[in-house]
Amino acid sequence: MKIFPTIDIKDKKCVRLIKGDFENKTVYEISPIEQAEKYKEHGFKNLHIVDLDGALIGETVNLDIIQEIVSKFDFKIEIGGGVRTFESIQKYVESGIEKIILGSAAIKDKIFLKEACQKFPNKIALGLDAKNGYLSISGWKENSNQLTLDFLKEVNDYGVSRLIFTDINKDGTKASPNFEETSKVADVSNCPVIISGGVSSIKDVKKAKDLNKNIEGIIVGKAIYDGDIKLDELVKEDA
């Protein structure tokens, strides 16, 4: 099970949102660079970064911070937030990012997703962010009216290399992930799935290990920042 500690960047700071609500956020004193260093010192190998400024305007706003993290620390990084053009993908690939997450752009334009997978083989991850079974887009501000599993079936053969499934109702709540829905997604998906949203304790991480064999990892955010999960115990689950 791969553990992905998170860094969500807004206004050059680490933040956590509740259910994706930009008005309901916690800002932490630690900088994204300092947080990355903390993860590295504890021995984590993977890192999940979200450019929240980018998610709002559709551009790679915090590219400078992300490039600094890449150059200073040896992480396998997946990044999302505002990646809506081939140019943005290219910038991240050239920066040394392992996986670039396409969300809104992929859901709004399946052809863009397909072509991105062809142009950047093994680099594209698909971010499916769902609320009550339906996909949300544009920084989670819009409902796409598309059912998660229906959309996945349509794009399953495009060549996506990883899928990140987030239950928005769980995200930032520390109310435990939606394991049931994630397992359904993993059953359908042709690529490995990452669990995202709601991790509350080390028990959630251990439970994720016993789920569907197509579940590759789990993203842990607010529970780290709030001290509910200690990095020393979390890194022991990282494989």
Considering the candidates 11, 51, 74, 129, report the single residue annotated as catalytic: 129
Q: What share of the chain is helix, strand, coil (3-state, %, to 5)?
A: 35, 30, 35
How far is 195 from 178, CA to CA, in rounded Å? 8
**Pair 231, 3: CB distance under 8 Å:** no
**DSSP-assigned states of every residue in 158-183:** S---EEEEEETTTTTTTS---HHHHH
Q: What's the one-letter identity of residue 221? A: G
* Token reading at 15: 């933040």
Verify whether residue 74 is a known catalytic residue.
Answer: no
Q: What is the DSSP string of 13-70?
A: EEEEEETTEEEEEEEESS-HHHHHHHHHHHT--EEEEEEHHHHHHTS-TTHHHHHHHH
Q: Which two tokens stand for residue 202?
A: 């080390």
- 150 noted as active-site residue: no
In the block, which residue shows the tokens 């997946």? 78
Contact between residue 117 and residue 98 where contact means Cβ atoms under 8 Å apart: no
- From the list 8, 167, 171, 204, the catalytic residue is 8
Annotated catalytic residues are 8, 129
